[in-house]
Structure 1
Amino acid sequence: MKINQDTVLRGKKVALVPYTAAHVPRYHEWMQSEELQRLTASEPLSLEQEYEMQRSWREDADKCTFIVLDAARWPGQAEEESCMVGDVNLFLTNAEDPTLGEVEIMIAEPCYRGRGFGKEATLLLMAYGVRSLGITKFEAKIGQENEASICMFKKLHFKEVAVNSFFQEVTLKLDVSDQERRWLLEQTNHVEEKSYTELKRPVGVLET
């Protein structure tokens, strides 16, 4: 989505940055994992297909994608690609209801799971969706075996509304009432929104 192509959302644990071509090799490496393929219901792609997917996610008006970085290490302490933790997505797939967003979160690096990175990344994305995209309803579809993710979304006030036994998938939803909106914005009042271009500029480089 072009609206977020220069947006960084920086929280306490995570920084969300636009998904660029520079992230594709690491992302492609992640998606060779059979565990991640199973948890995300994804098929493995070739590297060239992954680049095509990245271009699609960047250009399509119905996909808002961020790469999740370790905020303690980026920017400044390590190369950006080595700070990658996972990704988070908001899909606007209902043409009849542009206020409905489907949320997906993947913490690909095992050492970052269970430490609050997925929760904060999801909260940052949801708050961005409410503030900048006009989202008033969220939906998440999660594999039944992914109990950790189901539990996390329930902690974010999502309610289980359906179980698809054929696809072995649970659907959870959250309607953003005034009360939920206040709660969501309170949970993310520490977040800084910055320019990706500015943060990536090398220290000491001055514009002429």
Structure 2
Amino acid sequence: MKKNKNTKILGKNVVLVPYRKLHVPKYHEWMKSPELQLLTASEPLSLEEEYQMQKSWLIDEDKCTFIILERVLFDCTGNEIEAMIGDTNLFFHDSEDGKKLAEVEIMIAENSARRKRRGWEAMLLMLRYGCEELAIEIYQAKINMDNEKSISMFQKMGFDKIAENSIFKEVTLERHVDENWKTWLRRETQESKCVEHE
């Protein structure tokens, strides 16, 4: 998405930066993992296909992505590749009642960054960005039934389970955006700020 191509979101422990060409080789290595393929319902791509995918993320207006960086590592080194730990995405749809709906995804690819609430913080930053900058009114998360940690995380964020698909082994959780929830998001991410990414 062109809107976020120069946006950097600074959080307490993570930094969100737009997905750029320089990130592709490391991202491609991550996605060779059968575990990550299963958790993200992804098919392995060739490196060339991954570069094409990155280009579409940059220009397509129906999706938005950020690479997640470990902030302390990025602050020390200034190296985005070394600091990469995952990504977070939005896919836009119109809901049945015409409201702007986004499907949300989060992946913490680096084992060393798991169980440290990096996914929690990065997701909250993305949800807030979507509300405030992209006018999203409804969020949905589609998660593998076996991914109990992710399901639990979204439920703690106020999402409700609305569907189960036993064929795809997937549950769908949903959250309608309202003022109380936006206030909660701002409070949870009060130390964050959006700045220009060079």
Q: TM-score, normalised by structure 1?
A: 0.92
Distance change >3 Å, CA 187–CA 139, structure 1 → 2: same
Which deviates more from structure 2 when the two are superposed, residues 125-134 or residues 73-82? 73-82
5+ residue gaps, structure 2: none
Give the greater-gyration-radius structure (CA): 1
- SS where residue 48 of structure 2 aligns? helix
Letter in 1 for 2:16: L
* 2:44 corresponding residue in structure 1: 44
**Aligned-partner Cα distance in 2 for 1:102–1:148:** 18
Q: Determine whether 1:72 maps to 2:81.
A: no
Q: What is residue 117 of structure 1 aligned with on the other side? A: 118
Q: Does the CA-based 8 Å contact 1:92-1:98 persist in structure 2?
A: no
For 2:78 and 2:131, the matched residues in 1 are separated by 32
Count, aligned residues = 197
Q: Which residue of 1 aligns with 2:197?
A: 196
CA distance in 1, matches of 2:140, 2:161: 10
SS at match of 1:92: strand
Instruction: Give the distance between the partners of 1:23 and 1:103, measured in 2 at CA.
Output: 20
Written as runs of structure 1 = structure 2, the 5 A alignment for 1:83-122 is 83-94=83-94, 97=98, 99-122=100-123
> How big is the shift at 1:78?
5.0
Q: Which runs of 5+ in 1 are unaligned?
A: 198-208
Q: Give the corresponding residue for 2:139.
A: 138
Give the equivalent residue in structure 2 for 1:29.
29
Instruction: Answer yes or no: is the 8 Å Cα contact 2:99–2:138 preserved in 1.
Output: no
Alignment partner, residue 129 of structure 1: 130
Q: Over residues 68-95 of structure 1, what are the superposed CA-to-partner deviations in whole Å (9 max), with x where a residue is unaligned?
A: 0001111442521011000000110338
Give the alignment's Cα RMSD to 1 decimal.
1.2
Provide the secondary structure at the position in 1 that maps to 2:154.
helix
For 1:183 and 1:127, locate their aligned partners in 2 and report how far apart those are by CA, in whole Å: 10
Q: Which residue does 1:203 correspond to in 2?
A: none
Q: Say if 2:93 and 2:100, in contact at 8 Å, map to a contact too.
A: no
Q: How does 1:161-200 map to 2 (within 5 A)?
A: 161-197=162-198
Q: Percent identity?
A: 49
Q: Distance in 2 between matches of 1:162 and 1:110?
A: 30
The separation in 2 between residues aligned to 1:195 and 1:74, in whole angstroms, is 16
Partner in structure 1 of residue 56 of structure 2:
56
Q: Which AA in structure 2 matches 1:170?
A: V
Q: CA deviation at 1:179?
A: 1.0
Q: Say which SS state the counterpart of residue 190 (structure 2) adopts.
A: coil
